[in-house]
Amino acid sequence: MKKVIMGNHALSFGAMLSRSQVIAAYPITPQTQVVELLSEMCASKALNAKFIKVESEHSAMAACLGAALAGARTFTATSSQGLSLMHELLHWASGGRMPVVMGNINRAMAPGWSIWTDQNDSLSERDTGWMQFYCASNQEVLDTVIQAFKVSEKLLIPSMVVLDAFALSHTYEVVDIPDQAKVDEYLPPFQPQFRLTPSEPHAFGGLTSPEHYFEFRYKLQKAMEKAPALIEETGREYEKMFGRYLGLADPRSCDDAEIMLVTSGTAGYTAHVAVEQLRGEGFKVGNLRMKVFRPFPFDMVREIAGRVKKIAVVDRNISYGHHGIFYQEVKSALYGMKNAPPVFGYIAGLGGRDITPKDFGDVARHAMANERPEEEIFWIGVKK
Amino acid sequence: MTKPAQLDRGRKETTVKNRKKAERISFQSEKDMPIAPMSVGSQMHNKTGVWRNMRPVINLAECIQCGICWKFCPDACIYVENEWPVIDYEYCKGCGICGEECPTKCIANVEEKR
Amino acid sequence: MKKERTFKFTIPEEELMNPGHLACQGCSATQAMRYVLKGLGQKTALCIPACCWAVIDGPVPYSSLEVPIYHCAFETAASSASGLKAGLEMVGDTETTVVAWAGDGGTFDIGLQALSGTAERNDDIIYVCYDNEAYMNTGIQRSSATPYGAWTTTTPVKHFKRRPKKDIVAIMAAHKIPYIATASVAFPEDLIKKVKKAKDIKGTRFLHIFAPCPTGWKSRPDDSVKLARMVVQNCIFPLFEVENGERYTLNIRPKEKKPIHDYVRLQGRFRHLTEEQLQFMQQETNHNWELLLKKVDAK
């Protein structure tokens, strides 16, 4: 059934269709609509779930972890300050192998207070052992939530479904909301490998000496390594049932590109528009909109990079003292590759500054005009 | 993996039986380990009796079977055999609470010699 | 041997806590656990944050208890328990009692927000705070449960703790939860009676258990039960219950309040106190006792 809904509500519908059983969430702009709609769904029994109205994001994640350990399917959503408040517990979720799914609205970190979009909040959590999916349409958001549950529960790794503040969270788009019965068929109830119950008592997460800790973490990494293939396989199953395939990335016009943009989030769709325009003007430009950031899809990136002459990564984030984060990771993925193309790194749109097709045009022309980058960082639109 | 308790575990039969079952666990490979950090065995493998430098000894002739020593033991290592208290010296840490609380003062503190 | 008699059990026989655990000699935190589990039975799940019990239970891959434990982050005893209870109910287990089991640090200080949230929502869990009056697990640093006059590593003798002990029961009563009780390991029958009473009540129940710590208090290991008894007899830690945040019931009203001196002189952490400071402690105790009696006697 098609409905015109906002990105936040796409998260709510995804959580509802996935039959989440315990939701614990705390409001934060621009996430509030996610939990407001979920509250209504729980109250009207459209969703049979317990909604714990916790008193902070830290408690939200703590409650989700307790519920996940009991064997329930859990969901929460947050943004920027709230996500950072949960930070300690993000490590807990992955280390404890609890498959929580969380929606994160990418919002710039304070100070100063900003409610607009950039990616530093979620990317600051890239080392916590969570899978990260970056969406650029409300349809993608809804579809990704359902698939995230399936992949997370299979691998016992938590995942976050990420969308831009306002540009996606509050933007209304047509979304095809799948039929509950079909989703049930695709995503059966959670079958935990282990759970907390007095009938088989264990102590979970106790003191772990150097004799054992290393192996537990080795197991987590090994599971993450299985994720790219599983995401693609799960995606193909989804495509068979619902007609839409997500996969690890959304490449456009990359096959014969001389310059390939690398983007994520809604800026990725803007870049698609720019690529069309530039192609019309005769530039051989392509765009790789990355969807899965963790696990990092090394094989996919290397394969596509092998076919292009130059890469221009546009980051809506930065790791201070270093560079844009997608830039760093793409560049390091290509290290040692024969004929690896030069990688140009651009920072744009921090704090919600608009990124336009013209900006991508400037990026493409700049990369075209230079054999290799003469500087590490190119800033788009900063009033210097 | 610890199993649910039996009733009457204040009494010797079940208490000592369960303690004998506990073993040290050593993993050869990560494949033998559970997927996440969790317990799979009993802490009873750890014989804390070696901590002791003072050993409590109950004089049963003076004991009035009031139950107080069994009740207050922080290590749950006094069990009951044939209605009399027995200290399990494999675990007793020698804290002395049993002797201190005994109403007839029939528990003597003896220096542990090693 | 004497004439045929049976051994007297004044509390349930079943042991759900095993020996071999890593507690210090004379640890009352373990007595507290032993008694609470006897009161609740095996269908219990514990959320244990960072505290002595996080270590006492034994390292991975072992456990000392016959009940399952979720070792959770320090501040999250209450929020983890709220989530665990919700999760268990959603997977069909409505019988298991979920208990947040935290020390004074994880309750009075870092865990207070989560506790307040859980209590305000009246989530269906039992919160047990075993109070040894400092952050013992990390090496005896002060908490807001540390009483006036005590030495700790962060309130050394020259700067001993001057602020009074936080009144956690008053804070919990302000949340209007159905049941609050104080208990002491020296009175196991009273403690277990309260645990059983709490078990049958729905909503947030809070138990504050006084648990001496020989290591942190610099007291003799064999004095732990004695100290836990004296603290009730001298009214420093009265045993009482609060229902719905308003109805106070005193369980033991000593006919004659014992002076605090005997209690204080058994502990090295108070050794530096002058007679004047001891007087202040006695006055503070008297004052708090009078305030409690007013609440108890108010009809």
Q: What is the ipTM of this complex?
A: 0.96
Q: Do the chains contact at B37 and A95, CB–CB below 8 Å?
A: yes
> Chains near A, with 3+ CB pairs < 8 A?
B, C
Q: What is the pLDDT of residue B7?
A: 41
DSSP letter string, C104-159: HIIIIITTHHHHHHHHHHT-S-EEEEEE-SSBTTTTSB--TTSPTT--BTTB-GGG
Contact (Cβ atoms closer than 8 angstroms) between residue A22 and residue A54: no
Q: Does B1 lie at the interface with A, CB-CB under 8 angstroms?
A: yes
CATH number at residue C200: 3.40.50.970
Question: Going by C-beta distance under 8 Å and a sequence separation of 6 or more, which residues neighbour residue C108?
Answer: C129, C143, C144, C145, C166, C168
Domains and CATH numbers, chain A: 2-242 (3.40.50.970), 249-379 (3.40.50.920)
Q: Do the chains contact at A196 and C42, CB–CB below 8 Å?
A: no
Q: What is the DSSP letter of C55?
A: H
Question: Going by C-beta distance under 8 Å and a sequence separation of 6 or more, which residues neighbour residue A157?
Answer: A94, A97, A99, A129, A130, A131, A151, A220, A223, A224, A227
Confidence band, pLDDT 50/70/90 cuts, at residue C298: confident
CA atoms of A158 and A142, how far apart (whole Å): 17
Q: Does C223 lie at the interface with B, CB-CB under 8 angstroms?
A: yes
Q: Do the chains contact at C89 and A50, CB–CB below 8 Å?
A: yes
Confirm whether C199 is domain-assigned: yes
pLDDT higher than 70, residue C171 = yes
Q: What is the pLDDT of residue A24?
A: 98
Confirm whether C10 is domain-assigned: no
CA atoms of B104 and B99, how far apart (whole Å): 9
Question: Going by C-beta distance under 8 Å and a sequence separation of 6 or more, which residues neighbour residue A256?
Answer: A284, A286, A307
CA atoms of A333 and A345, how far apart (whole Å): 14
Partners of B110 in the beta sheet?
A: B55
Confirm whether C281 is domain-assigned: yes
Write phi, then psi, for A121 (nearest 5 degrees): -65, -55
CA atoms of B61 and C1, how far apart (whole Å): 7
Q: What is the pLDDT of residue B5?
A: 39
B-C CB pairs within 8 A amount to 150
Domains and CATH numbers, chain B: 12-111 (3.30.70.20)
pLDDT digits (tens, 9 = 90+) for B12-63: 665 666 666 789 999 999 999 999 999 999 999 999 999 999 999 999 999 9
Residues in chain C closer than 8 A to A70 (CB atoms): 83-84, 86-88, 90-91, 93
Amino acid letter, C200: D
Q: Does B55 lie at the interface with C, CB-CB under 8 angstroms?
A: no
Confirm whether C149 is domain-assigned: yes
pLDDT digits (tens, 9 = 90+) for A177-200: 999 999 999 999 999 999 999 999
Q: What is the pLDDT of residue B2?
A: 39
CA atoms of B105 and A274, how far apart (whole Å): 91
> Rounded to a whole number, what is the distance in angstroms from the first to the last CA of chain C?
55
Confirm whether C168 is domain-assigned: yes
Mean pLDDT of A283-288: 97
Confirm whether C12 is domain-assigned: no
Phi-psi region of C141 (alpha: psi -120 to 50; beta: other; left: phi over 0): beta
- Using alpha carbons, select from A29, A36, A30, A71 the residue that is nearest to residue A51: A36
Q: What is the pLDDT of residue B8?
A: 47
Question: Going by C-beta distance under 8 Å and a sequence separation of 6 or more, which residues neighbour residue C176?
Answer: C244, C245, C246
Lookup: tokens for A315: 């980051």
Confirm whether C256 is domain-assigned: yes
Instruction: State what percent of residues in chain C have pLDDT above 70.
Output: 98
* C218–chain A nearest CA distance, Å: 26
Residue at token pair 């009692």: C97
Q: Does C288 lie at the interface with A, CB-CB under 8 angstroms?
A: no
Contact (Cβ atoms closer than 8 angstroms) between residue A71 and residue A195: yes
Mean pLDDT of C227-239: 98
Give residues 100 to 119 of C whose Cβ lies within 8 Å of A.
113-114, 116-117
Confidence band, pLDDT 50/70/90 cuts, at residue C160: very high
Instruction: State what percent of residues in chain A have pLDDT above 70.
Output: 100
Alpha carbons within 13 angstroms on the beta-carbon side of residue C118 total 35
Lookup: tokens for C48: 């244990």
Contact (Cβ atoms closer than 8 angstroms) between residue C16 and residue C38: yes
Question: At CB < 8 A and 24+ separation, what contacts does C269-272 make?
Answer: C269/C150, C269/C151, C269/C152, C269/C216, C269/C217, C269/C218, C269/C219, C270/C149, C270/C150, C270/C151, C271/C151, C271/C218, C272/C151, C272/C157, C272/C160
Residues in chain A closer than 8 A to B38 (CB atoms): 194, 202-206
Contact (Cβ atoms closer than 8 angstroms) between residue A163 and residue A295: no
* C33–chain B nearest CA distance, Å: 9
Mean of the per-residue pLDDT values of chain A: 97
Question: Going by C-beta distance under 8 Å and a sequence separation of 6 or more, which residues neighbour residue A322?
Answer: A328
Residue at token pair 């290799």: A372
**Helices vs strands, H then E, count in chain A:** 13, 16
Determine the residue of chain A that is closest to C96 in CA distance. Answer: A198
Alpha carbons within 13 angstroms on the beta-carbon side of residue C275 total 0
Selected for mutation to probe chain C from A21, A59, A195 (highest C CB count within 10 Å) is A59
Q: Do the chains contact at B96 and C16, CB–CB below 8 Å?
A: no
Alpha carbons within 13 angstroms on the beta-carbon side of residue C95 total 6
Indicate the pTM of the whole model.
Answer: 0.96
CA atoms of B37 and A79, how far apart (whole Å): 29
pLDDT higher than 80, residue C191 = yes
Q: Which domain holds residue C271?
A: 28-297
State how many domains chain C has: 1
Q: Do the chains contact at C16 and B100, CB–CB below 8 Å?
A: no
Contact (Cβ atoms closer than 8 angstroms) between residue B37 and residue C60: yes
Instruction: State what percent of residues in chain A have pLDDT above 90.
Output: 99
Mean of the per-residue pLDDT values of chain C: 96
Confirm whether C23 is domain-assigned: no
pLDDT higher than 90, residue A376 = no
Q: What b-and-e string marks burial along A71-100, b requiring 16 or more CB atoms within 10 Å of the CB?
A: bbbbbbbbbbbbbbbbebbbbbbbbbbbbb
Q: Do the chains contact at C57 and A203, CB–CB below 8 Å?
A: yes
Mean pLDDT of A245-272: 96
Mean pLDDT of C251-260: 94
Report the length, in residues, of chain C.
299
Q: What is the pLDDT of residue A117?
A: 97
Q: Do the chains contact at A203 and B39, CB–CB below 8 Å?
A: yes
Amino acid letter, B78: I
Pick the more confident residue, B8 or C149.
C149
Mean of the per-residue pLDDT values of chain B: 88
pLDDT digits (tens, 9 = 90+) for A306-352: 999 999 999 999 999 999 999 999 999 999 999 999 999 999 999 99
Q: Do the chains contact at B67 and C66, CB–CB below 8 Å?
A: no
Q: Do the chains contact at C90 and A207, CB–CB below 8 Å?
A: no
Mean pLDDT of C70-92: 98
Amino acid letter, C154: T
Question: Going by C-beta distance under 8 Å and a sequence separation of 6 or more, which residues neighbour residue C133?
Answer: C104, C143, C145, C146, C147, C150, C165, C213, C216, C217
pLDDT higher than 70, residue C2 = no
| H-only helix segments in chain C | 28-40, 52-56, 77-90, 104, 112-121, 168-173, 188-199, 214-217, 224-233, 261-264, 275-297
Q: What is the pLDDT of residue B6?
A: 39
Partners of A289 in the beta sheet?
A: A250, A263
Residues in chain A closer than 8 A to B36 (CB atoms): 95-97, 156, 194, 204-205, 216
Q: What is the pLDDT of residue A375?
A: 87
Question: Going by C-beta distance under 8 Å and a sequence separation of 6 or more, which residues neighbour residue A375?
Answer: none
Contact (Cβ atoms closer than 8 angstroms) between residue A77 and residue A118: no
pLDDT digits (tens, 9 = 90+) for A29-65: 999 999 999 999 999 999 999 999 999 999 999 999 9
CA atoms of C16 and C38, how far apart (whole Å): 7
Q: Does C262 lie at the interface with A, CB-CB under 8 angstroms?
A: no
